[in-house]
Amino acid sequence: MNSIKSSFFQSGLPFLAMFICFFCRNACAQEENTVTGLHYGARVGVAMGTFGNVQPHTGARVGLVAGGFAQYQFNSRIGIQLDLAYFQQGGTYIQFRDDTRFGAGDDFLTRNVKDASVILHNVFIPLQVRISPFHSRLMPKIVLGPYADINLEATEKYQRTGELDGGVYATATGEDVVTDQYEVLQFGAVGGFQFELPFEGNTELIVGMAYKYGITPVKRSHSYIDFAGVREDLRGHALVISVGVKFL
């Protein structure tokens, strides 16, 4: 194993060093050339979404992000950016149901635990200010602004576990379209940073990370114990990591 590691470092490090030197030389040659005006591009990424922690037993799930963007750079320090993307917002939750407290019979349908994973198929539209606090083009840009989400459809996969006759427990699985349980319009704020690195020709490689914070609810009056007296609005948050390309 040590010989394999040694061979890897001996053969791989020179190529890595050459690549870094080549990249830095090209990047530094373009470092002082601030490109103003209108630019556009596309990006894809993943989002770790959650329903927040107002109600207990909520968790995160991974979704996809894909779309395009347009930027207008006023000068070397400031610009604006508008995105239009497909965004899989969502999260997980556990809900405890016990209708026997209302006098219902004790069976699988009236007393069970539901473990659900939800995807909101959203159109994501953020409008952000782009701030360049550093002189070098190799340093990240700060992006910050409001967003709107338009929910096209909400789907839910679940497992429902309960007790059958004779003390035997069973789990049923299913998938439902639950669009009517979620808000069509959601608003919030998104902020983060993105590297815009010189690439081939008149293009730049975009690598970004952002946090999407929901201000308005994605679902109203959710109860983790399925009880009207214990209800809270759920808000959607997400950590987004993306890569893309920008055309200058």
CA distances from 240 to 45, 53, 58, 118, 142 (A): 7, 19, 19, 17, 14
- Return the minimum-mean-pLDDT range out of 72-86, 100-114, 146-160, 212-226: 100-114
In this prediction, residue 22 carries a pLDDT of 45
Mean predicted confidence (pLDDT) in 182-209: 95
Beta-carbon count within 10 A of 19 CB: 10
Residues ≥6 apart with Cβ < 8 Å to 131:
77, 78, 141, 142, 143, 144
pLDDT of residue 9: 40
The region of weakest confidence among 44-48, 109-113, 146-150, 242-246 is 109-113
Per-residue confidence (pLDDT) for residue 3, from 0 to 100: 44
The pLDDT assigned to 4 comes to: 39
pLDDT level of residue 33 (50, 70, 90 thresholds):
low
> Within 13 Å of residue 149, how many CA atoms lie on the same side as its CB?
32
Confidence of residue 34 (pLDDT cuts 50, 70, 90): low
Average pLDDT on 59-83 reads: 96
> What CA–CA distance (Å, rounded) separates 137 from 193?
13
Q: Find the mean pLDDT for residues 168-178.
A: 95
Instruction: Using alpha carbons, list the distances in angstroms from residue 85 to 89, 94, 150, 161, 247.
Output: 12, 29, 11, 36, 18
**Is the pLDDT score of 20 beyond 60?**
no
